[in-house]
Amino acid sequence: MSVKNEPGERILICEDEPNIISFLKAELEYEGYHIETALDGSEAISKFLPEFFPNNSYSLVLLDIMLPVRNGLEVLREIRKTSNIPVIILTARKEVYDKVAFLAAGADDYITKPFDTSELIARVKRHIQRAKTHYSASQEKLTIEPDAYRAKILGNDIGLTKTEFEILCFLHENIGKVKTRDEIISAVFGDFYGESNIVDANVKNIRAKIARHTSARVIETVRGKGYLCV
């Protein structure tokens, strides 16, 4: 009996050095991935536009920091306006100081050149797998009904208060992105409201109510930063 392979996952490589592109392309194609390439930052951004790829669904982006036209950080910020796709930064050793800015802008990981092939492949696989798990954790199980001010998990009404609902809604709209307590307060209460522990108290309640129906984690705490919906 023949086994039909799933269509390969699509990976976008944003890199301007031909040798690195051909190396990455060969290694990842060998693993069964489909590869798109962008040679500068502007091309990378354009490859995220719906005109280019109507049911846009890359599984992962490998993003060089030093790119012509638009640099890697600009590309990452553009991607994050519309997508929570895993992004792995490719850095040269001397660019180490840039890592923090990239992680803050929403990068998931970084790999230092020259690459260790098995490490690169392992990280790519792990991030693609994790993104799928996250997708199923909240996007498949959590339903937001904005007009009714109701959120359901696995079809069950979670029974949130208005404030809890608005916090969950805000985090869910920004799924995969860390939101600080201040950002949550500003989105839900407006800028004048200054008590940041109000967020913690509400998140605690949301989690407890969700936990009545599932052990899946929907809101994660990012120590020293804030919360994210996964």
Query: Whole-angstrom Cα distance, residue 152 to residue 101?
Result: 36
Q: Is 108 in the site for Ca ion (CB under 5 A)?
A: no
64 binds Ca ion per the rule CB under 5 A: yes
Q: Which of residues 171-210 bind Ca ion (CB under 5 A)?
A: none
Distance in angstroms (rounded) separating the CA atoms of residues 34 and 100: 30
- The DSSP secondary structure of 80-107, one letter per residue, reads HHH----EEEEE-GGGGGGHHHHHHTT-
**CA distances to 64, 65, 205 from 181, in Å:** 31, 29, 15
- Stretch of residues binding Ca ion (CB under 5 A), selected from 11-19, 36-44, 166-174, 189-197: 11-19
What is the full DSSP assignment across 52-74? Answer: TSTT---SEEEEESS-SSS-HHH
> Closest CB to Ca ion belongs to which residue?
66
98 is a contact residue toward Ca ion (CB under 5 A)? no
Q: Tell me the C-alpha distance between 228 and 222, whole Å.
A: 7
In the shown chain, the binding pattern of residues 19 to 58 toward Ca ion, with x for contact by CB under 5 A and - for none, equals ----------------------------------------
Cβ proximity to Ca ion: between 16 and 36 the closer is 16
In the chain the first and final C-alpha atoms are separated, in Å, by 38
Size of the site for Ca ion (CB under 5 A): 3
Report, in Å, the least distance between residue 87 CB and Ca ion.
Answer: 16
Min separation Cβ 228 and Ca ion, Å: 30
Binder among 16, 74, 109, 200 for Ca ion (CB under 5 A): 16
Measured on CA atoms in the order 215, 209, 197, 163, is the torsion positive or negative?
positive
Among 10, 35, 56, 66, which residue sits at the site for Ca ion (rule: CB under 5 A)? 66
Interface residues with Ca ion (CB under 5 A) are 16, 64, 66
